[in-house]
Amino acid sequence: MRTGINRAFRTYLEPPNARAAIAKLDGAINDTVTSLTVDLASWQIPEDEELMRNGVLLEIDAELIEVLTYDELTGICTVVRGVEGTTATAHLDRNSIKLSPNYPRQSVFDALADNIVNLYPTLYTVRAMEVMGPGVAAMEDPLAVDIVEMWAGASGYGSNIEGRIVDFHPSVGGRAVIFDGDRGNGGPGLGSAWVRYRRRFGSATSEDDTFEELGLDSRWVNIAIIGACADLFIGADMEASQVEWVGGVLAAENIPVGTRSQVAAAMLRYREVLIDKAKSEMRAEYKTRMRFRPTQVSFR
């Protein structure tokens, strides 16, 4: 998630010439202190320090902090920690302090997490696993949704194997694959079978979550990023420099932007173009297999 969030800022949310005022933290802080010190020499533009006043929001990592008082001689602030739905956490010395961010990092995280989850069922991934009878096997993949097809393993089952995924089965104490099929050389309900199943996408809980852990194909990360940025742009008062920046990125993909109010719609059009391409690739990759048996050909 962290790489996706950084990419969203770099590509769409923070044009090089329109970034928020930034300073550095002078000394590490834990998650409970109600004061912090700004390194006075770290202001990139001296005039930015004038923005430090009562009620201003500071962002360190993903935490939003409200300023109560600021001493311009010492750089010491008294603050309220973890405001606007964020969580107070420890921060290292020299971490960046962003003043009045247009797009809080927590908001970007939430928008990206929502867009990943909402890609299903339009997009999904498929995996295969071998299961052992008799008739019930644990489904340890939490992202498994439903079965695409089943076929005989090395022993036990014959043709026409069918199954389903259930949320709980007492014999395994959790999610399970229930399956049956024709009598094979191991007898009914015995031996192994292969199950090919469809997977949804997981819900991120931390920036440390990887796209792989969330089940998202790396080729589709950009789709989620674009959708997240479009959500953030809806109703936002975008600066002209950002409109120009995003317009230039979309123009390279032959997506016209138009007016400032149409940026979000243009991003959503771009997202649909990429989704259509991904669906075509997905159908080709996960196309129905044709399986040959000694006496028949079946499509499942």
Q: Is the peptide bond before 104 cis (omega within 30 degrees of 0)?
A: no
Q: Which of 35-39, 51-55, 106-110, 188-192 has the lowest mean pLDDT?
A: 188-192
Buried b / exposed e over 14-49, threshold 16 CB at 10 Å, is: bbeeeebbbbbbbeebeeeeeebbbeeeebeeeeeb
Q: Which of 15-19, 147-151, 249-253 has the lowest mean pLDDT?
A: 15-19
Give the DSSP letter string of 47-83.
GGGGG--TT-EEEETTEEEEEEEE-TTT-EEEEE-S-
The domains of the chain are located at: 1-19+103-124+203-300, 21-101, 126-199
Coil vs helix vs strand at 130: strand
Q: Which of 97-111, 152-166, 196-210, 255-269 has the lowest mean pLDDT?
A: 152-166
Q: What is the pLDDT of residues 177-220, one digit of tens each?
A: 998 765 454 455 557 888 999 999 999 999 999 999 999 999 99
Per-residue pLDDT band for 114 (boundaries 50, 70, 90) equals very high
Amino acid at 92: L
Strands (DSSP E) contained in 19-156 are 22-24, 35-37, 57-60, 63-70, 76-80, 96-99, 125-132, 136-138, 144-152
CA distance 145 to 199: 5
Average pLDDT rounded to a whole number, residues 133-151: 90
Q: Which two tokens stand for residue 64?
A: 């939003």
Average pLDDT over the chain reads 88
Give the DSSP letter string of 245-278.
HHHHHHHTTT----SGGGHHHHHHHHHHHHHHHH
Task: Note the pTM of the prediction, 2 decimals.
Answer: 0.85
Average pLDDT rounded to a whole number, residues 20-42: 95
Asked if the model's pLDDT at residue 290 lies above 50, the reply is: no
**What pLDDT does residue 157 have?**
58
**What pLDDT does residue 44 have?**
80
Span 21-101: which CATH code?
A: 2.40.10.170
Q: How far is CA 94 from the centre of its chain?
A: 28
